[in-house]
Amino acid sequence: MKRVKETVEYNAAKSYLLREIEVMKHISKYDNVIKYCGDCVTKDPIHMIFEYCPFGDLKTYLQMYRKQCDKSWLMSGSDSPWKMEFITWCIQIAKGLSFMEKEEIVLRVLTARSILIGNDRICKITDLGFSTAVMSPSEFEDNVKSCLPLRWMALESLLDCFYTSKSDTWSYGIVIWEIFSLGCHPYPEMTATDVVPELQRGYRMGRPTHCSKNIYNVMLDCWNEEPSSRPEYEDTIYILQSLLNLQLDDESYNHTGDDDANQIS
């Protein structure tokens, strides 16, 4: 459930939530976007009801994985035991973003915390509250200027307040980094004020310890300084699906090898 907190900006926040409810009512249902279930707007505080997601938000879920890991493995460079699940989540999120692009909605804010995990561990994009469908550019700047999620934002958004589906693509690359770093905070070695000048100098985050070069290349493509050079979601889905299929083939081959060895013994 999402509701407006009773603050000094209550009337403005109420207006934005009412707009978000209208957007959620009318966009088509899609597996990788949170499903609107109802609302209560006849009395304050108003609220919107969406589908229950039993596994919570993606960032917290990833950090739970981290807590379960052996410390020696965390320091090693070996593949993540959840690699296939992680790639699957990346595909699901890209599908959700592709859907949003077709609906002509720019999210502006996409983080691992804004993605919920539903039944069957399916990732769902949530929180259209800052999207172009709800807030005008001036409203967005006025409402988030004191708490800009700048570690997830594209360079053109940070410098020129310019938001398109390609700036969402940049944020998507940050989310992939969050996934393969098991929920770490982006640019962990920097203060918030360092991020923008470093990005202008060409800095990009390094490859997470348990991430393959192929996955890291997807991130780097998303962080291309030129928005038009960033990949289309459908192309990214194709690349990730190919990598997932290779993983599945390897798993199948290994299981077959184990069965043959057992028969010989």
Q: What is the pLDDT along the chain (265 residues), one digit of tens a residue?
A: 888 777 657 777 888 888 899 889 888 789 999 999 999 988 888 889 999 999 999 999 999 988 887 666 555 555 666 789 999 999 999 999 999 999 999 999 899 999 999 999 999 999 888 888 888 888 887 776 667 789 999 999 999 989 999 999 999 999 999 999 999 999 999 998 999 999 999 999 999 988 999 999 999 999 999 999 999 999 999 999 999 998 877 665 455 555 554 555 4
Spell out where 2-142 has E strands: 2-3, 36-40, 47-50, 115-117, 123-125
Alpha carbons 28 and 7: distance in angstroms, whole number = 32
Pick from 226, 250, 254, 223: nearest CA to 236: 223
CB 61 within 8 A of CB 179: no
Tell me how far apart the terminal alpha carbons of the chain are, to the nearest angstrom: 57
What is the domain class of 54-252 according to CATH?
mainly alpha
The pTM for the full model equals: 0.89
Alpha carbons 135 and 148: distance in angstroms, whole number = 15
181: its two tokens: 């770093």
